[in-house]
Amino acid sequence: MTATTHADVSVTLGGARAVADVPARMFGSFVEHLGRCVYGGIYEPDHPTADDQGFRSDVLDLVRELGVTCVRYPGGNFVSNYNWEDGTGPRDQRPVRRDLAWHCTETNEMGIDDFYRWSQRAGTEIMLAVNMGTRGLKAALDELEYVNGAPGTAWADRRVANGIPEPMGVRMWCIGNEMDGPWQVGHMTPEEYALAVDKVAHAMKLAESGLELVACGSSSAHMPTFGEWERTVLTKAYDNLDFVSCHAYYYERGAKSLQDYLASSEDMAGFIATVAACADEAKAAHNGDHDIALSFDEWGVWYSDVWNQQEAEWKAAASEGLHPEPWPKAPHLLEDIYSAADAVVEGSLMITLLKHCDRVRSASRAQLVNVIAPIMAEEHGPAWRQTVFYPFAEAAHHAKGAVFAPEVDAPAVHTEAYGDVDAVEAVVTWDEETREGLLLVVNRDIASAHTLHVDLSTLPGAGADAPAVTHTMMLHDDDPHRQNTAEQPDAVVPQPFDVTADDGRLSFAMPAISWAAVRFTA
């Protein structure tokens, strides 16, 4: 794609007032029993790299390299028809079930016992989701006791007997998943879910007051009840809620144009503002003493039209009489292969999440392995990084301290969905104690390169000298649709680029459709 150099872009910190601290959970991910995310992804006992628990060591290495801090488990749509007990105890005694969400056979070789062991090896926190579709209050309390209870009670002793003597210490719990969605087993009206989540949250806090509980928000900003669902649920259950979930996926074919797709973060910013306002209304209605934060626990690029077509074909076939044949185990589902443009979009979404970290205090990029994932794992073969791996990993490892949302003076690009938007987006993080900073920036202009001038002189505690650049990387390809593949896993990888540092200002050029990171000290 041919690009022309456009006018300079000015990025300044103004009064350098921080948005908030960088939340550790901002760099979370999501593992659902869907497709090959679990079986053939994190767990493949006959793989050459499998450890003593059947976990793929090559995948574990990439999870650590990705920098994931917290993983939501086990769903997702899967959780709404799931018996958590099925995934505990000896593997050879676990029941095999049908999964109604993804029309698959669930062997329960992986469950909470195993995922706890996996998370310890991966170095991640666990965020657990409980079944509000076919179950509810009693099952949630039993699971909480099994997971976190001190030995000496029935469920905690069962955990000990299953080889885990210590409480797992899971602090964050999602009370159901997308319960407004008609695709969800046991889906509910806003009023039904508000009543249910209020009871479950109240009881779970009676058991452990220090839990952090997440209520389902609307499953999409495009749901007809979006906004009203949040107001109803949060107002009813405010006292015992800490978070409300947000879910948003984007893909090029779902946008009006490539330029609109590159501006997907405009939609995310509007989503955040709407849900935050609903949370504030709930607080005001209760004269409350705490803010309900946002858990953006599903976000990323998902070419959902592919799945929609597969599901339509399945439903058409299923309507032609009864089908007694077995459902497949761990089929290839939602295995999107990402492009350079997809990586730029995800880099932009991460910038948006960071710029709103005063309200978004947790986020889970969905998912982790094989299923709409930054990591792909071939059966009996290698694991490799998708293009979207790199913007996430850079932020996860190096966004520390406080977040600053700079003022950007950039040319506008026109979109059908959002009107005129800035060609460039940016965010700065700065750790005053270590004096290390990170600049993340995207050029989402499809036609023009831009030269950036970034003024960092007003960072708190920054020295009088110019910032010293310690590392640079840029992701761009002249073909924005170029992808990494199993055969060419390094087709699109970030490259270092030149930055001029002078008098508190960084200057550098960015081609059209690009993402960049600059690490610096000051």
Q: 298: which 2 tokens?
A: 């599903």
Distance CA 64, CA 473 (A): 20
pLDDT at 480: 98
- The predicted pLDDT at position 313 comes to 86
For the domain made up of 4-11+403-521, give the CATH fold.
Immunoglobulin-like (2.60.40)
What whole-number distance in Å separates Cα of residue 184 and Cα of residue 29? 21
Question: 70: which 2 tokens?
Answer: 């917290």
Question: Does 2 have pLDDT greater than 50?
Answer: no
- Say which residue, 325 or 390, is predicted with more confidence: 390
Q: Per-residue pLDDT averaged across 300-304, rounded?
A: 96
Q: How far apart are CA 276 and CA 141, in angstroms?
A: 29
Question: What 3-state DSSP class applies to 10?
Answer: strand
The domain spans of the chain are: 4-11+403-521, 23-398
- Average pLDDT of the segment spanning 393-397: 98
Give 385's strand partners.
375
pLDDT value for 164: 98
| Residue % of the chain over a pLDDT of 70 | 98
The mean pLDDT of 298-325, rounded to a whole number, is 89
| Predicted confidence (pLDDT) at residue 456 exceeds the cutoff of 70 | yes
Length of the chain: 522
Q: Assess whether pLDDT exceeds 70 at residue 4.
A: no
* 313: number of Cβ within 10 Å: 10
Both tokens of residue 472? Answer: 């640079």
**Rounded Cα gap, residues 267 and 211, in angstroms:** 31
Burial of 436 (0-12, 13-18, 19+ CB in 10 A): middle
Q: What φ, ψ does residue 127 adopt, rounded to 5°?
A: -115, 115
- Residue 54: half-sphere exposure toward Cβ, Cα within 13 Å: 14
pLDDT at 371: 98
Residue 493 has pLDDT above 90, yes or no: yes
pLDDT of 10 strictly over 50:
yes
Q: Which residues contact 427 (CB under 8 A, 6 or more apart)?
A: 351, 354, 355, 403, 404, 405, 406, 439, 440, 441
456: nearest Cα among 400, 410, 506, 394: 506
CA distance 25 to 295: 9
State which amino acid sits at residue 414: H
The whole-number pLDDT of residue 316 equals: 86
- Region 475-484: mean pLDDT is 98
Answer whether CATH 3.40.470.10 is correct for domain 23-398: no
CA 434/CA 458 separation, integer angstroms? 17
Residue 1 has pLDDT above 80, yes or no: no
**Which structure tokens are listed for 146?**
């099994």
3-class secondary structure for 162-198? CCCCCCCCCCEEEECCCCCCCCCCCCCCHHHHHHHHH
Q: Kindly give the pairing relationship between strand 468-475 and strand 514-521.
A: antiparallel
Q: Which residues are catalytic?
A: 178, 298
Query: Residue 121: which H helix or E strand, with range?
Result: helix 112-122
Burial class (CB in 10 A: 0-12, 13-18, 19+), 10: middle
- Amino acid making up residue 150: A
Beta strands in 318-457 (DSSP E): 360-366, 375-377, 383-385, 402-404, 407-409, 412-415, 419-422, 424-431, 436-443, 448-455
pLDDT at 312 over 80: yes
Query: 4-11+403-521 and 23-398 share one CATH topology?
Result: no
Does the pLDDT of residue 423 top 80, yes or no? Answer: yes
pLDDT tens profile 132-184:
999 999 999 999 999 999 999 999 999 999 999 999 999 999 999 999 999 99
Backbone phi, psi, residue 396, to 5°? -60, -40
Tell me: the pLDDT tens digits for 246-298? Answer: 999 999 999 999 999 999 999 999 999 999 999 999 999 999 999 999 999 99
Per DSSP bridges, beta strands 448-455 and 293-301 are unpaired
3-state secondary structure of 200: helix
**pLDDT averaged over every residue in the chain:** 96
Give residue-wise pLDDT tens across range 43-73: 999 999 999 999 999 999 999 999 999 999 9
What global pTM score does this model have? 0.97
Asked if 394 and 423 touch (Cβ cutoff 8 Å), the reply is: no
Residue-wise pLDDT tens digits, 343-392? 999 999 999 999 999 999 999 999 999 999 999 999 999 999 999 999 99
7 pLDDT tier (thresholds 50, 70, 90): low
Q: What is the DSSP string of 433-470?
A: TTTEEEEEEEE--SSEEEEEEEE-TTSTT--SSPPEEE
- pLDDT(429) > 70: yes
